Amino acid sequence: MKNVIVISDGEARVDLNDPWQFGQESEQVECSARVDEVATWLEHSASNRSHGVLIQKEEELELIAPHLANITMIALTFKDFKDGRAYSLAYLLRTRFHFKGDLRAVGDVMRDQLSLMRQCGFTSFVIKEGKDPFDALKGIKGLSVTYSGSVSNPAPLFKRVRRY
Amino acid sequence: MYQYDDYDRALVTERVAQFRDQVERYQAGQLSEDEFLPLRLQNGLYLQKHAYMLRVAIPYGVLSANQLRALAQVSDRFDKGYGHFTTRQNIQFNWVKLPEVPDLLAYLAEHDMHAIQTSGNVVRNVTTEAFAGVAADEVYDPRIFAEIIRQWSTINPEFLFLPRKFKIAVSASEEDRAAVRIHDVGLYLFRDSEGELYFKVMVGGGLGRTPFISQVLNEKLPWRDLLTYLEAVLRVFNRYGRRDSKYKARIKILVNTLGLDAFKAEVEQEFQQIPKDINGLTESELSRIASQFLPAVYETLGETDLEFATHLQNNEAFSDWYDLNVRSHKVSGYRSVVISTKFPNNIPGDVTSAQMRGIADIAERFGFGEIRVTHEQNLVLPDIPKSSLFQVWVELNRIGLGLANHALLSDMIVCPGASYCNLATAHSFPVAEQVVNAFTLEEQQDIGPVSMNLSGCINSCAHHHIANIGMLGLNKSKTDHYQITLGGRQGTDSRLGKVLGPAIAESDLPQAIRTLMDVYRKYREVDETFIQAVDRLGLAPFKEALYPEAQG
């Protein structure tokens, strides 16, 4: 995939050599670098299942949840950046289903929402075509003060620091 | 009032810098209109008919004198010398210029104020009643929980792109002076027989084109679980709320489509799966927030004041104002004063910069330097010694704010209307003024308490559905028409008004309201208020009087 930002060891960087490819774009990609849609993934035999899976709809979360141990990357779709469902799905994948792999934001993904996505547990971001991923990097950090807890920082501020 | 610490201050300061950068990128063409829209809305900035409008947050309606002076300064420097107080206890500036907004916000941040989440599909300003902390009938100070919710919901990353806006109100009194039941989530704070604090959680209230009064979601929620429970409600809403139509996206539609029981089951299931300890509130957090409010230090004052009694005896205008605009206080010798912003003296909710400064001075000289905003768009001086009331009244009159009409028919909630707003179909202010001017103050006093709200369109910003008499502006042919509803009310026993009949032409509206009042005056019993008479008589006599031709 192009225009990818990854967070590894707490550092965000643009990855020009991202290995992942969507299955529907090329049948030839081997399982370890392929991302299939949930329906396709479920149809495949166990040996031919891709290591990456693309969730596009809310209800697909429950379908894929039992198989998370065999998946190393989940791409969650933001069809429109104003549709915030994927933030809750990311939260659930991380805290309820304890998904430990790479959680990737795809679709309408832009600089000004990246810090929110990061806080909800996303670890990589495919920046929307036409937007500069190096510019988007500036959006990863966000504000230094957050009141509520989140996936990246579970305790709310009042339990995280001593306030007088 | 709540005092910011370094964390609060850092957050608003960084937020200004973030928005300044977003404005610059928008102006440079790096952000499209569509990309910029939610960013500016989350910072309170609307694009209205003639200009940008900035809605500044006044958390649960509490302001310090210095903050009110800062708002006066903003009115002069960035607007046309006035601001408009809203039903969410906020203030709007109607004539701001986009390139100046970052400087405006930076100035507000210096005074511990912001415009975060006053708009957009997010959790909005948490509201409570204007007499919080000074009302004799409250079980606990609702501002403390309102502040806890404010902090939790501010830039909470999971809930910034909800299906639609989300409004929360808290009340700690039996009466409910915070219109709790028209909120997406309403919280009634109460104590059980052991004295422990709980919330009764209401859900699915809201007006607009499909009005609903909220229903009980949880009868008895322990206060420690408040944030966890709100998280569960918002997650269910975020996942399952409709996103295909703006008009079907509020949680009230989800609750009513699923049915209350099914919705409740969803919330309960989500709630049970969230570890309670993470967001669990603690005694120490509660007392820390409480201490940040710097409780007022009251003097021991007597209830007897001969000078006050003399003024009351000799000055009828003062005595009227005292009867109507002064409320009892939990501390002996103190009172709360309601400052009316209404017709005929003012445009409802509009206050000039000079008036703001005047109020700030009065609040400091006679009170503890604190001002409240009511959801009826008035202002309140919460702590005035009884012995200072006459001077306060004199000073308020000096700045044109001594009107004695609290809870009378001229104490109307009115939206800005089509003169400002893109959505409005009718020009609310001038017609509301005509209605009010049809009644002398003596007549209004004879009629007594009645709530009359006027909205310029179906979005119902002026809460006309829950007024005793509601007026809704509709666009019919060339002249504005108004649909009249009767029997609505706010409070614990909230009800939606019922439509009386066909909409009435703007020019006939004052006479129509007079007709309704004449029915009341003809049939009322001793000490019976307007709404009590409506309950006893039903709609029929009012309908007959208003639409005689329909009766044949």
Report CA dihedral (A42, A48, A51, A54) to the nearest 10 degrees.
-40
Residue B135 lies in a domain: no
Among B63, B90, B110, give the residue marking a domain's end: B110
Distance CA B494, CA B508 (A): 29
Q: How far is A102 from chain B (nearest CA, A)?
A: 18
Do B506 and B446 lie in one domain? The reply is: yes
How large is the ipTM?
0.97
Question: A32: how many CB neighbours lie within 10 A of its CB?
Answer: 12
Do B339 and B224 lie in one domain? The reply is: no
When scoring A57, A58, A80, A85 by the number of chain B Cβ atoms within 10 A, the one with the most, hence best to mutate, is: A85
Residue B532 lies in a domain: yes
Question: A130: how many CB neighbours lie within 10 A of its CB?
Answer: 7
Do B188 and B243 lie in one domain? The reply is: yes
Angle between the N-to-C axes of helices B251-258 and B226-240, in degrees from 0 to 180, rounded to the nearest 10: 80
Do B147 and B278 lie in one domain? The reply is: yes
Any idea what the CATH number is for the domain that residue B347 is in? 3.90.480.20
Grouping H, G, I as helix, E, B as strand and the rest as coil, residue B168 is: strand
Do B150 and B288 lie in one domain? The reply is: yes
When scoring A110, A119, A145, A163 by the number of chain B Cβ atoms within 10 A, the one with the most, hence best to mutate, is: A145
Q: What is the pLDDT of residue B552?
A: 56
Distance CA B35, CA A30 (A): 36
Any idea what the CATH number is for the domain that residue B228 is in? 3.30.413.10
Q: What is the pLDDT of residue B418?
A: 86
Residue B136 lies in a domain: no
Domains and CATH numbers, chain A: 4-160 (3.40.50)
Residue A27 has pLDDT above 80, yes or no: no
Q: Residue-wise pLDDT tens for chain B (552 aa)? A: 999 999 999 999 999 999 999 999 999 999 999 999 999 999 999 998 889 999 999 999 999 999 999 999 999 999 999 999 999 999 999 999 999 999 999 999 999 999 999 999 999 999 999 999 999 999 999 999 999 999 999 999 999 999 999 999 999 999 999 999 999 999 999 999 999 999 999 999 999 999 999 999 999 999 999 999 999 999 999 999 999 999 999 999 999 999 999 999 999 999 999 999 999 999 999 999 999 998 889 999 988 989 999 999 999 999 999 999 999 999 999 999 999 999 999 999 999 999 999 999 999 999 999 999 999 999 999 999 999 999 999 999 999 999 999 999 999 999 988 888 888 888 899 999 999 999 999 999 999 999 999 999 999 999 999 999 999 999 877 889 999 999 999 999 999 999 999 999 999 999 999 999 999 999 999 999 999 999 999 999 999 999 998 865
Residue A87 to residue B157, Cβ atoms within 8 A: yes
Among B94, B110, B126, give the residue marking a domain's end: B110
Runs of H (alpha helix) within B43-141 = 65-78, 101-110
Residue B520 lies in a domain: yes
Q: What is the pLDDT of residue B422?
A: 83
Q: Does B16 touch chain A (CB under 8 A)?
A: no
Do B388 and B420 lie in one domain? The reply is: no
Residue B299 lies in a domain: no
Domain with B505 in it: 413-551
Give the closest of A84, A115, A155 to B161, CB-based: A84
Count of structural domains within chain B: 4
Residue type, B59: P
Residue A156 to residue B227, Cβ atoms within 8 A: yes
Q: What is the pLDDT of residue B423?
A: 85
Residue B137 lies in a domain: no
Do B171 and B78 lie in one domain? The reply is: no
Do B467 and B340 lie in one domain? The reply is: no
Among B232, B265, B292, give the residue marking a domain's end: B292
Do B268 and B147 lie in one domain? The reply is: yes
Do B148 and B241 lie in one domain? The reply is: yes
With vertex at residue B225, the alpha carbon angle to CA B375 and CA A92, rounded to the nearest 5 degrees, is 105
Q: What is the pLDDT of residue A163?
A: 87
Distance CA B125, CA B56 (A): 10
Helix-, strand-, coil-residue percentages of chain A, each rounded to 5: 35, 20, 45
Pair of tokens at residue B415:
């939206």
Q: How far is B7 from chain A (nearest CA, A)?
A: 6
Residue B199 lies in a domain: yes
Distance CA B42, CA B45 (A): 7
Any idea what the CATH number is for the domain that residue B57 is in? 3.30.70
HEC readout, B316-364: HHHHHHHHHHEECCCCCCEEEEEECCCCCCCCCCEEEHHHHHHHHHHHH
Structure pTM? 0.97
Residue B380 lies in a domain: yes
Count Cα neighbours of A90 within 13 Å in the Cβ-side half-sphere.
30
Do B162 and B245 lie in one domain? The reply is: yes
Do B183 and B280 lie in one domain? The reply is: yes
